[in-house]
A and B are shown apart, each in its own frame.
Chain A
Amino acid sequence: MKGFTLADLKRVMRECAGEDENVDLDGDILDAPFENLGYDSLALLETATRIERELGVRMPEEVLSGARTPRLLLDAVASAR
Chain B
Amino acid sequence: MTAPAPASTAPGTRRGTALVTGLDVRAANGDGTEEFWRSLLEGRGGIGPITRFDASGYPSRLAGEIARDPGEDLPGRLLPQTDRVTQLALACAAEVLRDSGLDPAGAPEYGIGVVTANAAGGFEFGQRELENLWAKGPLYVSAYQSFAWFYAVNTGQISIRHGLRGPSGVLVTGQSGGLDAVGHARRMLRKGTPAVLTGAMESALCPWGHVAELTGGRLSTADRSEDACLPFGERAAGHVVAEGGALLMLEDAASAHARGGIRPYGEVAGYAACFDPPPGSGRPTGPARAARAALADAGVEPADIGAVFAEGAAVPDLDAQEAGAIAEVFGPDAVPVTAITSRTGRPGAGASALDLAAALLAVRDGLIPPTADVGRVPAAYRIDLVTGRPRPMAGDAALVLARGYGGFNSAVVVRRCGPTPR
List chain A positions with a Cβ less than 8 A from chain B.
15-21, 38-39, 42-43, 45-46, 49, 52-53
* B254 at the binding interface (Cβ < 8 Å): no
Consensus secondary structure, chain A interface: helix
Q: Are A17 and B140 in contact (CB under 8 A)?
A: no
List chain B positions with a Cβ less than 8 A from chain A.
75-81, 139-140, 142-144, 146
Give 18 A-B contacts (CB < 8 Å), ordered by A residue: A16-B80, A17-B80, A17-B81, A18-B75, A18-B76, A18-B78, A18-B81, A20-B75, A20-B76, A38-B77, A42-B81, A42-B143, A42-B146, A45-B143, A46-B80, A46-B144, A53-B139, A53-B140
Q: Are A46 and B78 in contact (CB under 8 A)?
A: no
9 smallest CB-CB distances across A and B, nearest first, come from A18-B76, A46-B143, A18-B77, A45-B143, A19-B76, A18-B80, A20-B77, A18-B79, A53-B139
Would you give the shortest CB distance from B139 to chain A, in whole angstroms?
A: 5
- Name the B residues within 8 Å of A19 (CB-CB): 76-77
Please, which residue of chain A has its CB at the minimum distance from the CB of B139? A53
Q: Are B76 and A49 in contact (CB under 8 A)?
A: no
Would you give the shortest CB distance from A59 to chain B, in whole angstroms?
A: 11
- Name the B residues within 8 Å of A39 (CB-CB): 77
Option from A20, A38, A43, A52 in Cβ contact (under 8 Å) with B139 = A52
Please, which residue of chain B has its CB at the minimum distance from the CB of A46? B143
Most buried by B among A16, A17, A19, A21: A17
Q: Are B144 and A42 in contact (CB under 8 A)?
A: yes
CA distance A3 to B357 in the complex (A): 56
Q: Are B75 and A49 in contact (CB under 8 A)?
A: no
Please, which residue of chain B has its CB at the minimum distance from the CB of A39? B77
CA distance A43 to B79 in the complex (A): 12
Q: Are B75 and A21 in contact (CB under 8 A)?
A: yes
- Name the B residues within 8 Å of A20 (CB-CB): 75-77
Option from B78, B143, B146 in Cβ contact (under 8 Å) with A49 = B143
CA distance A38 to B80 in the complex (A): 13
Would you give the shortest CB distance from A23 to chain B, in whole angstroms?
A: 9
Would you give the shortest CB distance from A54 to chain B, in whole angstroms?
A: 10
- Name the A residues within 8 Å of B139 (CB-CB): 49, 52-53
CA distance A49 to B145 in the complex (A): 13
- Name the A residues within 8 Å of B76 (CB-CB): 18-21
- Name the A residues within 8 Å of B79 (CB-CB): 18
Would you give the shortest CB distance from B239 to chain A, in whole angstroms?
A: 36
- Name the A residues within 8 Å of B80 (CB-CB): 15-18, 46
CA distance A42 to B81 in the complex (A): 10
Option from A15, A17, A52 in Cβ contact (under 8 Å) with B77 = A17
- Name the B residues within 8 Å of A16 (CB-CB): 80, 142
CA distance A45 to B81 in the complex (A): 12
CA distance A18 to B146 in the complex (A): 17
CA distance A43 to B144 in the complex (A): 8
CA distance A19 to B75 in the complex (A): 8
CA distance A50 to B234 in the complex (A): 56
- Name the A residues within 8 Å of B143 (CB-CB): 42, 45-46, 49
CA distance A19 to B76 in the complex (A): 5
Please, which residue of chain A has its CB at the minimum distance from the CB of B138? A49
CA distance A38 to B139 in the complex (A): 23
- Name the B residues within 8 Å of A49 (CB-CB): 139, 143
Would you give the shortest CB distance from A55 to chain B, in whole angstroms?
A: 12
